[in-house]
Amino acid sequence: MSEPADVSFLLGAVYAAEWSNDVRELLFSPAPGEGGLSLAEGFDLLDVGSSPPPKELIPLCVIDEASIAVVVSEGPAAGTVRRWFLDPVPPEHQCGLLDLHPVLYVSSLERELSARGAGLSRILDEIGPAYADSHLKHEKRPRTFVLRPIRVACQNVIVGLAAIAQEASIDGLAVLAWQTCEVPHVATHEANRALAVITLCDAFQNGGTMEVRFDHPATLNVDGKKVRYSGHPEGAVPASLRRFARTVGVQLGAEDPASISPREARELFRVITPMPDELRARVDTAIATAGIKPERVYYTLLKPIWRAIELDWLLAISSRAASILEGGADWTQRSARQSEAEACRTAVMAGMFFRRINATDAAAADGSTRVVEDRTRGIQWSIEPESATIAFRGLDNTSPVPWARETVVPTTERVVVAFRSFVDSGTTEALQQAASEHLAILAVPRGTSLPDGLPDDVIVIFCPDRLADLDKAVEANLTSARISRA
């Protein structure tokens, strides 16, 4: 177990160091210089915030007009740098981790701000217009080796900019620009996470080694003139990206400061891919035992080719999951194709059902809150591999079960659903056992004929799609998986 951080020593090191004017203007200092902010002003901001801050928070610097960076002075998190919002935000987003300690944070801020002007000018004034002239104006799709700009925005506010290209000489991705920022209506480090997702997905689908270099030179034609870039303006893995990676337990640039190695890329890919704990454990097992490449799994979820519940289902109930993730068996392997088709059809139905029960109707929602994304009910699922069923938790009797021909409301906290494209005796037995303790549901495609002998207390619901519709969706997913990597 690590020793508690000496917060006084860390803050003293921050105050004693020489920083650029851009950083000094943001810092709360006990003895502010020209243009700086005082520590007293920082505590005043905390006091007038929407919710009373914990007493162990010490203001460090300004982030944006609605949040500041603070240092935790006591407790298990002592020494860490957190983001404190001055306006109302959901509790889970308040006090998000910014960095591991204040010296690291301010140092990375110094490197980031020193290169921000050059990076913004490069992408907004040179790379962006050149790409618009060479591709957008002609409605032309870029090849992987073309230097292309990326823009990430939320609610019409740009939070991330980058410029990337696949480079054959290094068999990896070259990044010539990378700029992110924190804004009041976006969660901590979300811009870094989103831009990292786009970058790593691009690195995977380009077919390279997954290495991402920030020092590879490139030449661009801007207004008829050749512009030569020596790499990212920072000449290394961007400080904001390294700062984000530290908060999720990944050290970038350890092998080469100017590069994210393939191993580091896979580690970062894993932690930034959102997965329930049960699915993450199942994915780790499949990677270790079934020969599934980890980056393919993460890309599959982030694309998304298969959604989380669909992938969980495939890994749990099918021995053909590795083949399915790569695009399915060859058409000449009839028995393998049939097995994969049944698993994929039921996975698609499970995904449709989950999205339906987890969605909320926001038409009459309270308009006073600023957060409008992610309106879901928080329904949880658990796969039962032995019976090939899914148990859903979190439903209540205020929302009827979808797809039922008559109104059915959940009568138990746990609802067990068997998704099938055809019903056999094993399905009947599994449902009969589940119905003794929970609400048991059989979900089948529209138009499916039901056998005799189904238990009376089993609810039968019909997916809106017919078998042919499901097969069409399955083939689209398998095709996407087949062509996902060059």
Model confidence at 50, in pLDDT bands (50, 70, 90)? low
Instruction: Strands of 77-133 (E only): list them.
Output: 81-85, 96-99
Output 363-367 pairs: Cβ under 8 A, ≥24 positions apart: none
pLDDT confidence band for 110 (50 / 70 / 90): very high
Residue-level pLDDT at 364: 42
Mean pLDDT of 313-341: 95
E strand or H helix that includes residue 471: helix 467-482
Q: What confidence category does residue 281 fall into, taking pLDDT thresholds of 50, 70 and 90?
A: very high
Q: How confident is the model at residue 427 (pLDDT cuts 50, 70, 90)?
A: confident
- What whole-number percentage of the chain has pLDDT above 90? 75
- CATH of region 114-272: 3.40.630
The pLDDT-based confidence of 428 (bands split at 50, 70, 90) is confident
pLDDT score, position 363: 46
At 297 the pLDDT is 97
Task: Quote the radius of gyration of the chain (alpha carbons, Å).
Answer: 26
pLDDT confidence of residue 372: 41
- Can you tell me the mean pLDDT for 267-287? 96
Higher pLDDT, 361 or 378: 378
Q: What is the model's pLDDT at position 4? A: 52
For residues 132 and 124, what is the distance between their CA atoms, to the nearest angstrom?
Answer: 11
Residues 267-278 have a mean pLDDT of 96
pTM, rounded to two decimals:
0.90
Task: Return the pLDDT at 33.
Answer: 65
User: Regarding predicted confidence, which is higher, 1 or 256?
Assistant: 256
**pLDDT attached to residue 337:** 94
Mean pLDDT of the chain, nearest integer: 91
More confident residue, 106 or 365: 106
The residue written with tokens 């530290």 in the block is 246
Is-contact 389 434, C-beta < 8 A? yes
Domain spans of the chain, in order of start: 7-99, 114-272, 278-362+375-482
Residues 107 and 19 sit within 8 Å (Cβ to Cβ): no
Starting at the edge strand that comes first in sequence, how are the strands of the sheet with 389-393 ordered? 380-384, 389-393, 414-419, 439-445, 458-463
* Predicted confidence (pLDDT) at residue 200 exceeds the cutoff of 60: yes
